[in-house]
Amino acid sequence: MSARQPRFNQHLLIDTTPLPDSIPKVQEVGSSSAPLLSASFFIGARCKAYNDDFMQCKTEANGKGEMDCLREGRKVTRCAGSVLDDINKSCLDEFRKHWECLDNNNQQLWQCRRWERPLNNCVFEKLNLEKKIPGVPENETPVHLRKRQIFAHSVITQ
Amino acid sequence: MGVPFEALLPYAVCIGMFGFSGAALSKIRAMQNGGKRARHSVDQWDRQMMDRDRRLTGFLRGQTDNVKAPAGFELSNPWRLEPGFT
C-alpha cells in the first residue's frame, strides 16, 4: 500500500486528562498573537538564556523532546509570563495601542512603528529591556530605528 | 467658457459605483473580522496562532493581553484525527 499524506480535517479529539501531579504546574501564558508579537523582542531580551536552552534541548532530542524538555519549557513559560506581567503593570497604554495597530495590519511590524517607538522608550526606561534585532550588519541602522519604512501603506503610521 | 460638466457626469457615475461597491465590500469584510481589517497571506504559523486565539478568547480574531491563560486552556488543544477504516 502506498503511503498517503494524512488528512486531518474531519475529527477532533480533546483529551481532558490533566498532566500527572509529578510534573510541576505552570500557568500558561494567556496573551493572544498580537500582544505576544508586540512583546516578543522584550521577551527575547530578558529570556534569551532560557529560550536558547529550550531550543538546544529540542534540537538535540531529535524528535523525542516533548517529555524530556518540559523543564526548560516551564522556565520559558514563567519568564515570558513575567515579562508580560511587567509590561502590563508599567506600559499598558502604549502596549495596547501597539498591539491594536498590529492586529489591524496583518501583524506586520513595519506598519506600526509610530506606536512602537513610545513603547520601546517606555519599556527601556521602566524595565530596562531593549529591542535588538540579531544579525544586523555593523554599518546599517536596524530596521526598527529607520525614519522611513519603505513598505508601509501610509506615511502617518510608519 | 465653463467646465463641460455633462461630459464628466459618466465618470462621476463610474467612480461612484466603484467607490460604493468597494466601501460595501470593505464593510462586509470588517464585519466578518470583528471590526478589523482582514488578514491576508496567512501561513501555517498564522493559522496556528489564530487557532490559539480562538481557544483563548472564543473568536478567531479576538485578542487579549492577560498574563494568565483561562482555566482549562492547557487541555483544550485538540488532537486532529482521521476517520478510521476497519
Predicted pLDDT of residue A48? 93
Cβ distance A106 to B39 less than 8 Å, yes or no, reads yes
**Global confidence as pTM:** 0.85
Cβ distance B81 to A12 less than 8 Å, yes or no, reads yes
Contacts of A95 in chain B (CB under 8 A): 65
State the residue for C-alpha cell 495597530: A101
C-alpha cell at B37: 481589517
How many angstroms separate the CA atoms of A94 and A81, rounded? 18
Say if CB B34 and CB B54 are below 8 A apart.
Answer: no
Contacts of B65 in chain A (CB under 8 A): 31-32, 35, 84, 88, 95-96, 99
Predicted pLDDT of residue A1? 64
Where do runs of H (alpha helix) occur along chain A?
Answer: 33-61, 65-68, 70-90, 92-104, 113-127
Q: Per-residue pLDDT averaged across A30-53, rounded? A: 93
Is it the case that residue B85 has pLDDT exceeding 80? no
- What values do phi and psi take at A78, rounded to 5? -65, -40
Contacts of B59 in chain A (CB under 8 A): none
Q: How many residues does chain A have?
A: 158
Cβ distance A30 to B68 less than 8 Å, yes or no, reads yes
Is it the case that residue B1 has pLDDT exceeding 80? no
pLDDT in tens, A42-66: 999 999 999 999 999 999 998 887 8
Cβ distance B75 to A15 less than 8 Å, yes or no, reads yes
How many angstroms separate the CA atoms of A103 and A4, rounded? 37
Predicted pLDDT of residue B23? 96
Helix (H, G, I), strand (E, B), or coil: what is residue A31?
Answer: strand
pLDDT range class, residue A10, cuts 50, 70, 90: confident
Cβ distance B80 to A11 less than 8 Å, yes or no, reads yes
Say if CB A47 and CB A83 are below 8 A apart.
Answer: yes
Indicate the range of A108-122, B9-23, B65-79 predicted with least confidence.
B65-79
Predicted pLDDT of residue B71? 86
Is it the case that residue A34 has pLDDT exceeding 80? yes
B41, B56, B82: residue with CB nearest A32: B56
pLDDT in tens, A84-126: 999 999 989 999 999 999 999 999 999 999 999 999 999 999 9
Chain B (67-86) residues lying within 8 Å, Cβ to Cβ, of chain A:
67-70, 72-83
Helix (H, G, I), strand (E, B), or coil: what is residue A85?
Answer: helix
- Paired sense of beta strands A29-31 and B65-68, if any: antiparallel
- HEC string of chain B equals CCCCHHHHHHHHHHHHHHHHHHHHHHHHHHHHCCCCCCCCCCCHHHHHHHHHHHHHHCCCCCCCEEEECCCCHHHCCCEEECCCCC
